[in-house]
Structures are given as C-alpha cells and as structure tokens.
Amino acid sequence: MDNNELNLKSIKTENLKKFIELAELELKKRQGRGFEAASGFEKKVKYLPQRATPCSGGYDIWPLEEVTLYPGESHVFYTGIKVYMPEDEIFIINIRSSYGIKNDIQLCNEQGWIDADYYSNSENDGVIIVKVKNFGSEPFIFKKEESFAQGLFVKYYITDNDSPRMSKRSGGIGHSTKRE
C-alpha cells in the first residue's frame, strides 16, 4: 500500500493523529497482553511486572516508594504501570501471600480487578493503583526492591443474552457506578 492509495494528504492533521492513536491501541490488543509504564510514570518505573519462575502464574508488582505502614494504617500505592490484554480477559491483583500470612497485610478491596478497557483510559491512563492495610500488630515496611502484589490474567465468559449497561468506559476507578 503506498501513499496514493491511502491519500493521507487529504486527512486533517487532528483526524490523522486520532487515527494513529486508535491504530496503536488496536495493535496492542492484537499483540496479546503485556505491561508498560503509564503516562507520567515512565522515569519512575524500575520494574515491569514479571513472573518469578517458569511455573509462576502471577506477575510480581513492585511499589514505587518505600513506605512504613503502622498497625491499622492504610496506604495507596500508584504502581506506575498499566496492562493491556484481550477484551475477554481481566487482570486480577492480590497481595503477596507471604505478606498476608506472615504480616497480616491485606488489600483494602480484597482483590483488584483490572478490565481490558481500563488500559489508557482518559481519567488516569490506566495506571494500576493498589491500596493496602496493615491488620497486624507490628509496623511493616514496603521496600522498593521487594514485590508486594501479584497479578494474574484470567479469561472470562459472557452470557448469550449479554447486554452491557454502557457502550464504553467513561473513566477510571468507579466508572461503572454511573449510568449512560
């Protein structure tokens, strides 16, 4: 295909930019699944999620900051990463099991679910946010060099008569409480 076939010169600049943006998103979807730094976090993310061993199901997630969490306290971690995946998958986030078992550290929402359309959303570019609470009796230190959460890709299925309330995502966290 050459320049004449597409007649690119006839397309307005702003429309061409939008087309490129949409084409890049479509390419990501077709590539499968993966991680990248969210907008504004490119220089802060040291590690993209990674499996620890060949048989690990979960992808380890690291905090961007070192935080001491005292008993009863909670903290919101902006991981700086976003995830892309096929439309029929979700990325489920849990606290590392050793943190929960040994130190009574828990996710405030018990389990985080990242939908495929959360990627690059207009509200926060799809940055993964993890809120944790120390239910233990001792202070706990989250270290930047130690993963604190894990994520797992899971395929899901829909019913034959599925009819979503919304035609598309309209924001970041909490978007589905709204009606169109």
- The answer to whether residue 172 is domain-embedded is no
Which phi-psi region, left, alpha or beta, contains residue 171 (left: φ > 0; alpha: ψ -120 to 50)?
Answer: left
| Averaged pLDDT for residues 28-57 | 92
pTM of the predicted model over 0.95: no
- The answer to whether residue 65 is domain-embedded is yes
- The answer to whether residue 171 is domain-embedded is no
Q: Which pLDDT does position 4 carry in this prediction?
A: 52
Domain count, the chain: 1
Q: Are 99 and 170 in contact (CB under 8 A)?
A: no
Structural domain that includes position 155? 11-159
What CATH number is attached to the domain comprising 153?
2.70.40.10
- The answer to whether residue 1 is domain-embedded is no
pLDDT class of 44 with cuts at 50, 70, 90: very high
- The answer to whether residue 180 is domain-embedded is no
- The answer to whether residue 167 is domain-embedded is no
Please, what is the Cα angle at 132 between 45 and 168, to 5 degrees? 70
pLDDT for 102 beyond 70: yes
The CA distances from residue 55 to 52, 59, 70, 115, in Å, are 8, 11, 34, 24
- The answer to whether residue 179 is domain-embedded is no
